[in-house]
Amino acid sequence: RKEVEQDPGPFNVPEGATVAFNCTYSNSASQSFFWYRQDCRKEPKLLMSVYSSGNEDGRFTAQLNRASQYISLLIRDSKLSDSATYLCVVNGGGFKTIFGAGTRLFVKA
C-alpha cells in the first residue's frame, strides 16, 4: 500500500463546476499536510497548507480528517486555469515528506 494515495483521475469538469479530490495517508503520526499544484511540464507549487480546523482560500477549501486519515480539496466555480495536476503531500516529521502521484483535473469551456 502506498503511503499517500490519490485517485489519478482525470477529472473532466465544465467551467463553473465544483470538484473535490480526496487523498488518504497511512502514517497516523503525520504532522503536516499540503496540496501542491503542478502544471504540465512545470514544477510543483504550493497551493495551500491543510490545517486541522480546515482552511479556505478563495475558491479552494482544504479539510483534514485525522480519524479517517484523509485530506480533501474542494474547488468551487472551476476555471479553465485550474486545469493541472494536484499533489497531496504529507509530512511525517523531519525529512519524511511523501508526495502523492497526483490527481489530474481538466476544466472544459
Partner 1 sequence: DAGITQSPRHKVTETGTPVTLRCHQTENHRYMYWYRQDPGHGLRLIHYSYGVKDTDKGEVSDGYSVSRSKTEDFLLTLESATSSQTSVYFCAISPSTGVGETQYFGPGTRLLVL
Interface pattern 47-86 for partner 1 (x via CB under 8 A): --x-------------------------------------
Nearer to partner 1, 3 or 74 (CB): 3
Residue 43 engages partner 1 in binding (rule: CB under 8 A): yes
Nearer to partner 1, 40 or 109 (CB): 40
Contacts 24+ apart (CB under 8 A), 83-86: 83/107, 84/37, 84/38, 84/39, 84/40, 85/37, 85/38, 85/39, 85/40, 86/6, 86/21, 86/35, 86/36, 86/37, 86/38, 86/47
Binding site for partner 1 (CB under 8 A): 4, 8, 31-32, 34, 42-46, 49, 87, 91, 93-95, 97-102
